[in-house]
Amino acid sequence: MSRRSWTLLLALATIWGASYLFIKIGLRDLSAPMVAFGRVSLAAVVLVPLAASQGAFRPLRGRVLAVFAVAAVHVAGPFLLIPLGEERITSGLAGVLIGTTPILIALLAIPLDHEERSTGSRLAGIGIGFAGVVLVFGVDLAGSEQAVLGGLAVVLAGLGYSVGSFMVKHWLPFQRPLGVVAAVMTASALLLLPAALATAPADPLAVGPIAAIAALGLVGTGLAFLIFYALIGTVGPARTMLVSYIAPGFAVLYGAILLGERVTAGTAAGLALIVGGSWLAGRDRPLFARTGRPGSAPRPAPSAGRPGS
């Protein structure tokens, strides 16, 4: 990859890694539905005008139900579950657990997608990654029912990202990415609006949570998506998914430095196993595969995976 592509990749990892920090700060004054609604509605404010100006919505005509289904599973559900989880666990642990998304994609590919079926080192990656999840739950979350529920909420969010990836691939193929993302963000905002209104705070908000949600929506979701799809267009989806292996480390770092969250040996070991397992599970060819014919290219990943964090 070029220096510019590496710079964009690292920028995206730092932005998405900070999402868990912004969520934790937003939760000081806002409910989980309000945090989720704030980020998707602000992202829509950024993305919808861009998509409209480029005519990116036209290919989506007649696909309203598919857009809302993808929005529910791939964005609205996970974006709600992550803050629900962060009400009970640290932002760093949330970032570590959401790193299971490539592992879950590889696991779901076994029954759902012949083209992406996992074998060899990818199956080994699934096992290693799940060992990391078990370690995190057994060491960092053990002894607290609320912490376990929080961890499960975040893993379930990763499952939503994973299932949604296959939904995008099979239900919205060949659509313009910017139009899909802008439409899905708008649909997600509509889906989350009732819960957000029902849990809207009665008291004035502090500056910190307002700034955190603004950063989460405009930068962590809106700008991040523009970088995400720019990378997919230049280096392809498989290389772009490297961000999933870098962002969890930033999430742990931000939580420790800026929020004073404790990083245990279990967190560090779980992070290493989950990231390593994700890398193996997300590879587009077996670890020791022959290179094949000269000029042959690896098959791209089934989808970009998660839409943020």
- Select from 201, 203, 159 the least CA-distant residue to 37: 201
> Would 296 be classed as within a structural domain?
no
Give the residue-averaged pLDDT of 268-279.
82
The answer on pLDDT for 163 being more than 80 is yes
> Would 53 be classed as within a structural domain?
yes
pTM over 0.95: no
> Would 17 be classed as within a structural domain?
yes
pLDDT confidence of residue 280: 76
Give the residue-averaged pLDDT of 134-154.
86
Alpha helices in the chain (DSSP H): 3-26, 32-53, 64-70, 77-86, 91-98, 101-112, 121-139, 145-171, 177-198, 207-214, 224-235, 237-240, 243-258, 265-281
Which tokens belong to 72? 């529910």
When pLDDT is cut at 50, 70 and 90, the band that residue 214 belongs to is: very high
The answer on pLDDT for 43 being more than 60 is yes
> Would 224 be classed as within a structural domain?
yes
Pick the residue with more confidence: 114 or 62?
62
Cα separation of 96 and 251, whole Å? Answer: 8
Cα separation of 160 and 306, whole Å? Answer: 9
Q: What percentage of the chain has pLDDT greater than the value 70? A: 87
The answer on pLDDT for 48 being more than 90 is yes
For residue 146, give its domain range.
3-281
Cα separation of 222 and 212, whole Å? Answer: 14
Contacts with 65 (C-beta within 8 Å, 6 or more apart), sequence order: none
> Would 60 be classed as within a structural domain?
yes
Tell me which of 54-68, 198-212, 268-282 is least confident. 268-282
> Would 209 be classed as within a structural domain?
yes
> Would 300 be classed as within a structural domain?
no
pLDDT confidence of residue 265: 85
> Would 254 be classed as within a structural domain?
yes
Q: How many domains does the chain have?
A: 1
